[in-house]
Amino acid sequence: MNTALEPHPRKGSERREAILVTATEVFLSEGYGRASMDQVHAKIGGSKRTLYNHFPNKEALFEAIVTAVSSRALAALEPPLGEDNLRKALFKMGENYLGVLLSPDGLALYRAMISEALHFPDLARTFFERGPGRASHYLADFFREQKAKGVVDVADPQIAAQHFLGAVRGDVHLAAALGVRKPSKQLVKMTVSQAVDTFIRGTAPASSEVET
Amino acid sequence: MNTALEPHPRKGSERREAILVTATEVFLSEGYGRASMDQVHAKIGGSKRTLYNHFPNKEALFEAIVTAVSSRALAALEPPLGEDNLRKALFKMGENYLGVLLSPDGLALYRAMISEALHFPDLARTFFERGPGRASHYLADFFREQKAKGVVDVADPQIAAQHFLGAVRGDVHLAAALGVRKPSKQLVKMTVSQAVDTFIRGTAPASSEVET
DNA sequence: TGTAAATGGTACGGTACCGTACCATTTACA
DNA sequence: TGTAAATGGTACGGTACCGTACCATTTACA
């Protein structure tokens, strides 16, 4: 109604952005519980009131962080499926998917969401739907197309997509999330490559031989 | 050296057990950060000193909890591979594996370990090795046998095992860990079943046709 | 039965943390 | 240039939490 009620932005957007960047570092490295508003404030400098002006409380700050990092990290899940060759498409999709999950932001986000899912159910749902869920759906659509063309023979494209992506994750992602071992690029390539092989052979139409 | 230095057990072992059970409920439902020693003490009753007599601090209590729950929950990962029929063996293995991961203890343990892995690296490593890692190794051994018999044709049995188990997890486990959806037994069966189908077709020796 | 260890019950020291309160100062816009 | 909003800097109220301190009481074992 009244435009005069709008707050003066000052360089408000920049300030907010700076706070968010710093807070993200703290929250993603420490986790929600161990991260403290005081710690964030100390790294930002200035007044604590400024921090609370932009984010009313710790929960709201965490939600803003997760939302921002999600859209940044998960954007890369856009399916690189322009490729029509099944093997190449799957390989690119798998490599890209695993790359996102194994990136520093991807791992930190995964840890944060698993940790806080029960206390931030809406956030958890959004994360799933925009992350792993979306990737599965994209791939399922791709499988449906390929199935229509008779290139693959899968009973349920949706489940098949989850299986392929699950196989790509393998134990590599789990081990990385637990900090047990950091996978090399070479291991990633090998993992994806073998997953593609098995999947293609496992879903090849009975009649035709797919070129290797 | 001196046996007189041994503490009198009183009904010490029972007391310790009771404390551990109660503490487990608190820690696994609240998570390490939100669980408090005061809260545990309140549920136990008695003196706070008794609690600290059995577990010197919060970290030690958490470690004891994780160790206990791990051996209880992960024991079920013992491979049910007495079965020699490939399809049946894989199905049983997959269903059992997913069942452990989706059990209340399995999910709570998974959340706790992902949450605290960076602060309890030794615990995280042990969990991985006795849990998912062990399951993969068992299955890899099985694949090696089957490969020797010419029943399956896999490039790398270890990676193949990770792929199969990863496919079995699919998005089901992730969604459950995030609290997004609780999978039905029927969905579990379907998921495992289709994973077995794809895997068997994908690893069948080129020459022989495996009976369906 | 006597004794050392463990327990019950309670209090509390020290610290960390969230969010608010002030007030002087600076900024953005009319 | 005047004014309202935002900021800097600091203090602090209220609470939660970890671990310790006491001391009377109970238990287990010699």
At B34-69, the pLDDT tens digits run 999 999 999 999 999 999 999 999 999 999 999 999
Whether residue B195 sits in one domain with residue B170: yes
Confidence of residue B79 (pLDDT cuts 50, 70, 90): confident
The confidence score (pLDDT) of residue B2 equals: 33
Within 7 Å: CB of A52 and strand C? yes
- CATH number, domain containing residue A147: 1.10.357.10
Q: Within a 10 A sphere around the Cβ of A98, how many other Cβ atoms?
A: 25
In a domain, B191, yes or no: yes
Residues 57-76 of B with CB within 7 A of strand D: 57-59
Whether residue A46 sits in one domain with residue A15: yes
Within 7 Å: CB of A10 and strand C? yes
In a domain, B26, yes or no: yes
Rounded Cα gap, residues A170 and A94, in angstroms: 11
The confidence score (pLDDT) of residue B12 equals: 59
Whether residue B51 sits in one domain with residue B88: no
DSSP chain A: --GGGSPP-TTHHHHHHHHHHHHHHHHHHH-TTT--HHHHHHHH-S-HHHHHHHSSSHHHHHHHHHHHHHHHHHGGGS------SHHHHHHHHHHHHHHHHHSHHHHHHHHHHHHHTTT-HHHHHHHHHHTHHHHHHHHHHHHHHHHHTTS---S-HHHHHHHHHHHHHTTHHHHHHTTS-PPPHHHHHHHHHHHHHHHHHHHS-SSPPPP-
In a domain, B209, yes or no: no
In a domain, B64, yes or no: no
Whether residue B166 sits in one domain with residue B81: yes
- CATH number, domain containing residue B30: 1.10.10
Range of the domain at B46: 3-56
In a domain, B67, yes or no: no
Whether residue A137 sits in one domain with residue A52: no
Extract the residue ranges of chain A whose pLDDT is less than 70. Answer: 1-12, 81, 207-212
The confidence score (pLDDT) of residue A133 equals: 96
The confidence score (pLDDT) of residue B19 equals: 96
Tell me which chain B residues have a C-beta less than 8 angstroms from the C-beta of A194.
155-156, 159-160, 163
In a domain, B96, yes or no: yes
Whether residue B196 sits in one domain with residue B138: yes
The confidence score (pLDDT) of residue B10 equals: 53
Whether residue A94 sits in one domain with residue A39: no
SS3 of residue B126 by DSSP: helix
The confidence score (pLDDT) of residue A211 equals: 44
Rounded Cα gap, residues A167 and B149, in angstroms: 24
B129 is written with which tokens? 């090795």
Number of domains in chain A: 2
Confidence of residue B84 (pLDDT cuts 50, 70, 90): confident
Whether residue A85 sits in one domain with residue A179: yes
Whether residue B84 sits in one domain with residue B111: yes
Tell me which chain B residues have a C-beta less than 8 angstroms from the C-beta of A190.
156, 159
The confidence score (pLDDT) of residue B139 equals: 94
